[in-house]
Amino acid sequence: MDAPRSRTVGALLAEMADRFPEREAVVDARRRLTYRAFRDESLQVARGLYSLGVRPGDHVAILMGNVAEWLVTGFAVASLGATLVSVNTWATRRELAYLLDHSETVALVFSERFINTDYVAMLAALRKAGEWPDRLRAAICLGGGTCPEWATPYAELPARADSVPEAPIVEIEATVAPSATACLLYTSGSTSRPKGVPLTHAGLIENMWSIGERQHLTEQDRLWLAVSLFWALGCNNALFALMTHGGCIVLQEHFDASEALRLLEVERCTVFYGTPNMTLALWEHPDRAHRDLSSLRTGVTIGKPDQIRMAMDLGAREICNVYGMTETYANSAVTDASLPAAKRVECVGPPLPGTRIRIVDPDSERLCPPGSTGEIRVRGYVMPGYYKDPEKTAEAIDTHGFFRTGDLGFLDEDGCLYFRGRLKEMVKTGGINVSPAEVEDVLSDIDGVAQAYVVGLPDPERDEIVAAVLVLEEGWTRIDLEHVRRFCRERMAAYKVPRRFRIALDSELPLTSTRKLKKLELPALFEGGPVG
């Protein structure tokens, strides 16, 4: 299909509603919306928010799981020329208070609860403690229970919309600039306070169209989306890759392997967006043998080669390996679905159109030749700067205007990028740098090893020693570490062979709220458990 003409989020939905009015756009556990219905409801919610005082330039936060109202509200905010603030559903009260205050949110749309978290109680505690941000003027509560007196029921927005004509909202939507900030996302904050990342309307549409093109998406595709919408992979990458192609988004409120398998089969999903831990959970679930996943075709994932092959074996044969981060509009490089599987599991593809990637020696600032590992730096589809943080912005951009990712990788002769870990994760043992990814690749080839993670541990003689955390395959309760060492010595230089090992359960791995591994916390695992 042709690329969308629109360069703002609200206009994109209007365009898709004109092109595919009766095609399903959004499916969740309760409702099914066509593109026409999606557009109509979004404008109605925009009018309701306008009646509550939301104006162009305001910040509106969303705090809820993957439900249709999340998407309807997000596009309503865009139509008003306001900025969507995507709030982590796993946020603690302290984190929530910081995010709402730092983002200068004027209206919060929230669900009563998410899994076991009672948001009404959490927000009431903020109010009682005097931590309610001064700018936060309106709270809109979604749910079937009793709405607190300090909030407006989401169900009342249609009635409030009656007091606001649709024409002025459409006029506002038409004045939104492609360069305006569409959303403000926050980094996971595993090592410091979360940083606000503003992303523009045009960037969301243009970069995500290219991501969809690498996956070979069409208007016939149906995306299974259990990746949290507050995360860039969900509300940026997945959402707009499908929306720019007129496809359907099948929402799962939160990930559950059994329900995911049911949705994939019943909704005949063709597009798989999943992290390695989600893929593993689906693969190991007993229901998998009884579910028809033959509709799966393409999608996006990350991980080691064996993890990507597992996604392929689930049915997503044309799945794409990707590289990127929130600051770079989710992805900067994506493999093409038509590449041979052997290539797609190893590299993360060439840069997307409009993106430049260079590999730089972080010590000398010189460009690295093809095949040489250095820091990955990105220019093109990159955030304009961290929200209200010029110092961190200056630190993040080099003298040539490239974003310092803090990631290690190399480009091959064809311009394809290979990810090799985090710069901060590099182990320096006896004055020699060791790439954890290289050692992990070798360890992952050992029978019985399901996952391998390499870190550095302090050592008085060598500065650091190489250490490995091993998660064993199902059915394995122990592994011969002498065999592991011999296996490594046959394939790597001696200084790269791990000197210490920790056998861990998958449940012991430290994860962020977005299910990313907190690798800097892995050394703590060596303080207990089976170590060799």
**pLDDT digits over 11-66, tens only?**
999 999 999 999 999 999 999 999 999 999 999 999 999 999 999 999 999 999 99
Q: Which residues lie below 8 Å from residue 520, measured CB to CB, with a gap of 6+?
A: 190, 191, 424, 425
Q: Map tokens 């042709």 to a residue.
A: 2
- Per DSSP, 237 falls in state I
Q: Which residues lie below 8 Å from residue 86, measured CB to CB, with a gap of 6+?
A: 61, 62, 183, 184, 185, 186, 229, 230, 231, 235
The Cα 35–Cα 14 span in angstroms is 9
pLDDT at site 57 = 97
pLDDT at site 434 = 79
The Cα 72–Cα 63 span in angstroms is 13
The more confident residue out of 436 and 514 is 436
Strand-pair partners of 299: 272
Residue type, 294: S
| 174: its two tokens | 């038409």
Element (H, E) at 281: helix 276-284
**pLDDT digits over 305-334, tens only?**
998 999 999 999 999 999 999 999 999 999
Residue 271 near residue 264, CB atoms below 8 Å: no
Residue 347 near residue 334, CB atoms below 8 Å: no
User: C-alpha 339: how far from its chain's center?
Assistant: 23
pLDDT at site 191 = 43
pLDDT at site 481 = 95
User: What does each C-alpha distance from 410 to 45, 355, 417 come to in angstroms?
Assistant: 47, 16, 6
**Which of the residue ranges 223-227, 417-421, 496-500, 527-531 would you say has the lowest mean pLDDT?**
527-531
The angle that helices 276-284 and 257-266 make with each other, rounded to 10 degrees, is 80
Burial of 369 (0-12, 13-18, 19+ CB in 10 A): exposed
pLDDT at site 514 = 58
Query: Can you point out the beta strands (E) in 353-431?
Result: 356-360, 374-379, 403-411, 417-422, 427-429
**pLDDT digits over 332-343, tens only?**
999 999 999 999
User: What does each C-alpha distance from 223 to 35, 116, 228, 240, 349 come to in angstroms?
Assistant: 15, 26, 14, 11, 22
Closest CA to 348 of 395, 393, 412: 412
Residue 87 phi, psi (nearest 5) = -105, 135
**pLDDT digits over 270-300, tens only?**
999 998 889 999 999 999 999 999 999 999 9
Pairing assessment for the beta strands 356-360 and 374-379 based on DSSP bridges: antiparallel
pLDDT band at 438 (very low <50, low <70, confident <90, very high): confident
pLDDT at site 513 = 59
The SS3 call for residue 146 is: coil
pLDDT at site 431 = 58
Q: Is the pLDDT of residue 430 over 70?
A: no
Q: Is the pLDDT of residue 360 over 70?
A: yes
Average pLDDT, the chain: 93
Q: Which residues lie below 8 Å from residue 84, measured CB to CB, with a gap of 6+?
A: 60, 61, 62, 74, 77, 78, 182, 183, 184, 235
The Cα 126–Cα 91 span in angstroms is 13
User: C-alpha 421: how far from its chain's center?
Assistant: 17
**pLDDT digits over 157-172, tens only?**
999 999 999 999 999 9
The Cα 509–Cα 180 span in angstroms is 39
Per cent of the chain over pLDDT 70 is 97
| 316: its two tokens | 């997503």
pLDDT at site 66 = 98
The Cα 374–Cα 364 span in angstroms is 11
pLDDT band at 93 (very low <50, low <70, confident <90, very high): confident
Residue type, 296: L
- Give the angle 410-378-354 at the CA atoms, nearest 5°: 110
Residue 57 near residue 81, CB atoms below 8 Å: yes
The more confident residue out of 144 and 318 is 318
Closest CA to 465 of 456, 477, 475: 456
pLDDT at site 493 = 73
Domains, in order of start, for the chain: 9-16+33-200 (3.40.50.980), 202-423 (3.40.50.12780), 426-527 (3.30.300.30)
- Per DSSP, 240 falls in state H
**pLDDT digits over 17-26, tens only?**
999 999 999 9
Count of CA atoms in the C-beta half-sphere (13 A) of 198: 18
The SS3 call for residue 83 is: strand
Residue 317 phi, psi (nearest 5) = -60, -30
Q: For 94-122, what is the mean pLDDT?
A: 95
**pLDDT digits over 477-516, tens only?**
899 999 999 999 888 778 789 999 999 988 899 887 556 7
Burial of 408 (0-12, 13-18, 19+ CB in 10 A): buried
**pLDDT digits over 2-16, tens only?**
999 999 999 999 999
pLDDT at site 362 = 86
Q: Is the pLDDT of residue 129 over 60?
A: yes
pLDDT at site 189 = 46
The Cα 518–Cα 511 span in angstroms is 5
pLDDT band at 97 (very low <50, low <70, confident <90, very high): very high
Burial of 245 (0-12, 13-18, 19+ CB in 10 A): buried
Residue 138 near residue 11, CB atoms below 8 Å: no
Q: For 128-142, what is the mean pLDDT?
A: 95
Residue 333 near residue 378, CB atoms below 8 Å: no
